[in-house]
């Protein structure tokens, strides 16, 4: 009888299990887009479209209406804002933050962007932006430079909403 040593049989079995798991994982990922919210034949989002989402957000800031800004966030979005220590995890918290932030008439400008398209329905935009702020009491202008990350998710109606937004002042140094 031609039997393999026990160590070798174990190694072959482990390799087979690993290969089967890798195939199953690959099949799941490959099929993920087929059932995407954007439709089976939806075109992938472009970098330009993703960058335009910030332009929409910035335009909402210029309205001075915190509800218009909050409308760009998903119901369960998380906001880690630039000039607040409080994590915002619901619409009321997001509106509250923007009620205060918008008093400074913020005007955002991106200086660096890296866009990652994760799938047809999920994108991440990360980089650096600057906000020109106007003190609502004195009228004095200041600039805040910050790092940001926006994670967007395409909704069943085709609208892109922010599901996670992190913004923090650049470290001094």
- pLDDT of 82-116, one tens digit each? 989 999 999 999 999 999 999 999 999 999 999 99
- pLDDT of 7-53, one tens digit each? 443 333 333 333 334 333 333 333 444 445 555 556 889 999 999 99
Residues 33/119, Cβ–Cβ less than 8 Å: yes
Closest CA to 84 of 112, 104, 55, 110: 104
Residues 146/39, Cβ–Cβ less than 8 Å: no
Report pLDDT for 168.
95
What are the extents of the domains in the chain? 6-35, 47-169
Q: Does residue 117 register a pLDDT over 50?
A: yes
- pLDDT of 54-89, one tens digit each? 999 999 999 999 999 999 999 999 999 998 999 999
Report pLDDT for 105.
94
- pLDDT of 127-162, one tens digit each? 999 999 999 889 999 999 999 999 999 999 999 999
CA distance 64 to 99: 8
Kindly report the CATH number that applies to the domain delimited by 47-169.
3.10.450.50
Report pLDDT for 39.
53
* Long-range contacts of residues 54-58, Cβ cutoff 8 Å, at least 24 apart: 54/108, 54/110, 54/113, 54/125, 54/150, 57/108, 57/150, 57/162, 58/107, 58/108
């Amino acid at each position: 009888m031609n039997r393999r040593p026990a160590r070798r049989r174990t190694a072959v079995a482990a390799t087979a299990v690993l290969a089967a798991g890798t195939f199953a994982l690959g099949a799941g990922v490959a099929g993920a887009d087929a059932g995407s919210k954007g439709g089976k034949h939806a075109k992938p989002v472009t970098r330009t479209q993703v960058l335009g989402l910030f332009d929409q957000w910035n335009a909402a800031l210029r309205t001075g209406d915190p509800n218009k800004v909050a409308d760009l966030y998903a119901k369960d979005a998380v906001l880690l804002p630039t000039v607040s220590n409080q994590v915002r995890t619901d619409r009321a918290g997001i509106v509250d933050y923007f009620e205060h932030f918008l008093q400074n008439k913020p005007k955002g400008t991106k200086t660096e962007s890296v866009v990652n398209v994760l799938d047809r329905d999920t994108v991440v935009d990360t980089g650096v932006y600057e906000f020109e702020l106007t003190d609502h009491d004195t009228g004095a202008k200041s600039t805040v430079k910050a790092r940001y990350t926006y994670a967007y998710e395409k909704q069943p109606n085709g609208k892109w909403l922010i599901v996670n937004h992190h913004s923090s002042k650049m470290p001094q140094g």
